[in-house]
Amino acid sequence: MIIQPRIYLASQSPRRRELLKQIGINFEVLLLRSDPRRDIDVDETPHTGEVPEEYVQRVCQAKAGAGYAALKLRNLPSFPVLAADTAVVLDGKIFGKPGNAEQAAAMLRQLSGCEHQVLGAVAVALGEHVETALSTSTVRFAALDEERIHRYLLTHEYTDKAGGYGIQGHAGAFIEHLSGSYSGVMGLPLFETAQLLRHFDHPAP
């Protein structure tokens, strides 16, 4: 039986699955939850003095490496493991995923009426070979009053999203201007993803 070329996606994000399907990449989701050692090598705490660009690529690379280690642990067929990470950055400060509605509201108030950067990192691991790429986009938010923020929080779209918003949902109406990669802001920069996969001799558009 011929095994079709594919990759493993070390992420449970439905947005990243949707984006990979968009460009015709054959993939399987690699679930790390069942691996008790999955978090040992993935430190998502920013290091002292670490700039956002270094941070997001370090975390992304660690996720890809942990994914490949899990792959070998389970004796699964050896194909590239892809991981991605997104950081929202305002004035050098990294905005992670809000833990609750109050934290999401605080982030949205700070982003209101301002330009911020969205760093989208992608990493691919196969054996000892690991490569990363970074997409940087600039997003300008409209001014948001408290009523608008409150209505957005009622959608619960802020859950599991860096900076407390997703461009593909209701928050798309907050964005006055975007310079960069729409897919990168969404969670997986497709140009950089296709480039990396070609480096691993994987068919990509």
Catalytic residue list contains 39: no
Dist CA 21 CA 175 (whole Å): 25
Query: Given 35, 43, 85, 201, which residue is catalytic?
Result: 85
What Cα–Cα distance (Å) separates residue 50 from each residue in 24, 60, 64, 141, 177? 35, 15, 20, 26, 28
What is the distance of C-alpha 142 from the center of its chain? 23
b/e for 50-69, b at 16 or more Cβ within 10 A? Answer: eebeebbbbbbbbbbbbbbb
What amino acid is encoded at 145 in this protein?
Answer: D
| Structure token pair of residue 183 | 């897919």
Residues 6+ apart with CB under 8 A from 164: 95, 97, 98, 103, 104, 105, 107, 108, 158
| Active-site residue list | 85
